[in-house]
Homo-oligomer: A and B are copies of this chain.
């Protein structure tokens, strides 16, 4: 199994962090991975808002229960899509692809990560919009927490034969 397949297999959602903050260089490498995800019609609508201030992280932990680990992670990245660059309604797909690349880049660098869902939950979209002064044409799709992991989880077996169908759907 090559390194990519191993990384895909070993990446897990991390919810315990040491409190140590990842370096700016590591963060930039992870953001760069986000930029390398494909986007519909190559419109490149994705933006990234890096949140590290303790006041904002505390607010986020309050407002988004699924992101409550953000204060220990130390870095939260709000991944957004620019609606003005969305021709066909693929903004969510584009941002999700960027997030998946970021999670794998993080794993490859020994950084723990957690994908916290935002869109289509209105209350989370609105909270982030206010906290980060996000304009109306920009949609926050998800938040990625990044930090030094304080837990290790084994890779489970996840292949499910019954969810692979050939030519037509078989129930």
- Listed in ascending order, the chain A residues whose CB lies under 8 Å from chain B are 2-5, 7-9, 11, 13, 28-29, 31-33, 35-38, 40, 44, 46-53, 56, 88-90, 92-93, 96-97, 99-101, 103-105, 107-109, 115, 117, 120-121, 132-135, 138, 141-142, 155, 158-160, 163-169, 171
Contacts and interface: CB of A to CB of B under 8 A. Distances in A.
B5 A167 contact: no
Contact of A117 (B32, B40, B117, B142): B40
B121 A88 contact: yes
Chain B CB within 10 Å, residue with most, of A138, A141, A166: A166
Contacts of A38: 11, 13, 103, 115
A59 to B, nearest CB: 12
A73 to B, nearest CB: 16
Given A8-B36, A35-B159, A171 B104 contact: no
Max chain B C-beta neighbours (<10 A), residue from A7, A8, A53, A115: A8
B167 A53 contact: yes
14 contacts: A2-B3, A4-B108, A8-B33, A32-B158, A35-B159, A36-B158, A37-B100, A38-B115, A40-B117, A52-B166, A53-B167, A89-B120, A96-B100, A132-B169
Contact of A50 (B142, B155, B166): B166
A141 B94 CA distance: 12
B4 A169 contact: no
A164 B7 contact: no
Contacts of A159: 28, 31-32, 35
A163 B155 CA distance: 34
